[in-house]
Amino acid sequence: MMAGRNWRRCMSSIRLPLRSRFRPGARSDICALSTDALSSDGKKKLATSKFDAIVVGGGHNGLTAAAYLARAGVKVVVLEKRAVLGGAAVTEEIIPGFKFSRCSYVQSLLRPVIIRDLQLHKHGLKLLPREPSSFTPTVDGKSLLLGADLAFNQSQISKFSKRDASAYRRQARICRYTEQLERFCAVMDPLLDTVPPERRLDGRPWQKRIREQIAQTKLLSGLVRRLAALGRSDTLAFMELLLAPASKVLDRWFESDVLKAALATDAVIGAMASVKSPGTGYVLLHHVMGETSSDKRAWTYVEGGMGAVSAAIAGAAVEAGATLFTNAEVKQFKLKDVTEVKGVSKAVVGVMLADGTEVSADKVLSNATPHVTFQKLLPANVLPDDFLSRVKTIDYKSGTTKINVAVDRLPLFSACKSATTRPGPEHQGTIHIGADCMQELDDAYRDALSGQPSRRPLVELTIPSVVDRTIAPPGKHVINMFVQYTPYQLAQGSWQDQEIREDFANRCFSLVDEYAPGFSSSVLGYDMLTPPDLENIFGLTGGNIFHGEMGLDSLFLLRPFKGWSDYRTPLAGLYLCGSGAHPGGGVMGAPGRNASHVVLQDMKR
């Protein structure tokens, strides 16, 4: 559970105008599934039970791992420190009547195999389409709407560039740019549901090492075949996408700045990187790899907020026999000496909670970041020096702040010239604010490099209450503002300074006013989460939403780092199952599912 100091810090992030009579922090809502808060009876149950597996952290990846383990007959318990399950995929009613997707806010990356295996729709998961999916207004009164209809997209783009509209012309009923990205996704997609084939020269039987070598050869040969199928031209373009800045990739396709800026936001969202930073092309591809009901690139809202994703997975886990506890903060791992070929080593055989309760298990899966797992939950002297030194090199830089806003009316955008408060197409999807051109995005990043919040930040604004009537009172709305760039540590002052916090929130509201006059006056209250808040409340080291940078040097066989990509760790019985492991961040579930398969293999189930 969140310590008292962190709870007070959490509540200090919520600001309500004087005219509001709402009481901050009145309720927290998990969005449907009730779980056992750790009571005295629960502590007794934990202390006297012998579990097969413990999952540390009730985020969506931890819950996914628990569901798959339980389905295989493993006696598994999930221990979540907060009073609400879900980790970063959580719905919380911070302001009465307004249910916020407090951290993550849209869905697309959740693996289809998990939705099918766990029957998440049966457990209440309801995905709500957004059409159009993107709206980018400019300060000079123009706007760009993009959605699933290619002819509509072409007409919208032609307002800015006839040449760019031709790049979106129909070719086999799909535009050339997105068709190429989908071919690249087809190369990468099978890797997401695959355990990276590590080969270690340790004391394991030679038969097992030969099987691992065969598995690695098979996986890599499949990747080579898919690359060969692309052809020479596409293979070179694919390599460029992986290695080049997103700006270079988009410059090759388009000339219109507003179109490039709208597309480039996917390349930098959640990352402390510029559109001109090498490797951001892959982050763009990572966000395109989402699939909803077999419709690639279709991002959706979730009825009830993102906590409904976690609640559905938790429901599947409970149905399979898993036990879930909230208010159960793990303080450290329990260790014992084991004899190995190279001498005596350590094995993890359970956990100790913050209140001293000990829980035993043969296997422990950590949904926490590698930093928390290896540097906070373990003594410093149990891990090999070279392993620990690599842990310390993981990059957790973050430039992200999330502002959850309750408003009494919809914003009216000047570019739409609408006087009605009824939802229009501009309110349906992601609204890009401060993205008039590529240079603006780079300028915002460079402000943060100098240790100051962006003077003109990039804001991804969504209004899920337009399509989900369950999360706001009638006539009022929930607005998510995903803001970049905000450095974790300020060059002057601190994020704990309320004046600095209010100044930045007002800066963001004033920026929206430029595109939708009067927006600031509609704000009833807000909850602002800066990078230190994301770390303190949700355990996201450095405020990084991906559990570590998503650069090419931190993916697949290199995630979390070379030699340890198969979810195992140097300590017997301890595994990673969170976004710090392959294939990385986003509400995907793949790390949890893949890790559960490794654990089941080691348990010979």
Question: Which of helix, strand or coil describes residue 53?
Answer: strand
Cα end-to-end span (Å), the chain: 32
User: In the numeric block, which tokens belong to residue 27?
Assistant: 């309720």
The two tokens of residue 425 are 């197409």
Radius of gyration of the chain (CA): 24
Give the separation between CA 448 and CA 486, rounded to whole angstroms.
6
Query: What pLDDT score was predicted for residue 441?
Result: 95
pTM for this one? 0.90
Q: What is the pLDDT of residue 15?
A: 52
pLDDT at 506: 97
What would the mean pLDDT of 67-91 be, rounded to a whole number? 97
Whether the per-residue pLDDT at 379 is higher than 60: the answer is yes
Q: pLDDT of 236-272, one tens digit each?
A: 888 888 888 999 989 988 999 999 999 999 889 888 9
Q: What is the mean pLDDT of residues 144-153?
A: 89
Report the relative pairing of strands 36-37 and 323-326 from DSSP bridges: parallel
User: Within a 10 A sphere around the Cβ of 437, how many other Cβ atoms?
Assistant: 15
At 3 the pLDDT is 37
Whether the per-residue pLDDT at 407 is higher than 80: the answer is yes
Confidence band of 395 (pLDDT split at 50, 70, 90):
very high
pLDDT at 237: 85
CB distance 50 to 24 below 8 Å: no
Average model confidence (pLDDT) across the chain = 87
Q: Among 70-74, 208-212, 492-496, whose mean pLDDT is lowest?
A: 208-212
Asked if 230 and 238 count as a contact pair (C-beta separation under 8 A), the reply is yes
* CB neighbourhood size of 565 (10 A): 21
Residue 335 gets the label, from left (phi > 0), alpha (psi -120 to 50) or beta, of beta
Q: Are 395 and 549 in contact (CB under 8 A)?
A: yes
pLDDT of residue 176: 72
The mean per-residue pLDDT over the stretch 286-293 comes to 62
User: Once rounded to an integer, what is the mean pLDDT over residues 54-72?
Assistant: 98
Q: What is the pLDDT of residues 163-180, one digit of tens each?
A: 888 866 644 344 677 778
pLDDT tens-digit series, residues 487-513? 999 999 999 999 999 999 999 999 999
pLDDT recorded at residue 52:
97
Model confidence at 537: pLDDT above 90: yes
Asked if 52 and 37 count as a contact pair (C-beta separation under 8 A), the reply is no
Q: What is the pLDDT of residue 333?
A: 98
State phi, psi for 3 to the nearest 5 degrees. Answer: -65, 160
Query: Is the confidence at residue 392, as pLDDT, over 50?
Result: yes
pLDDT at 286 over 90: no
| pLDDT value at 23 more than 80 | no
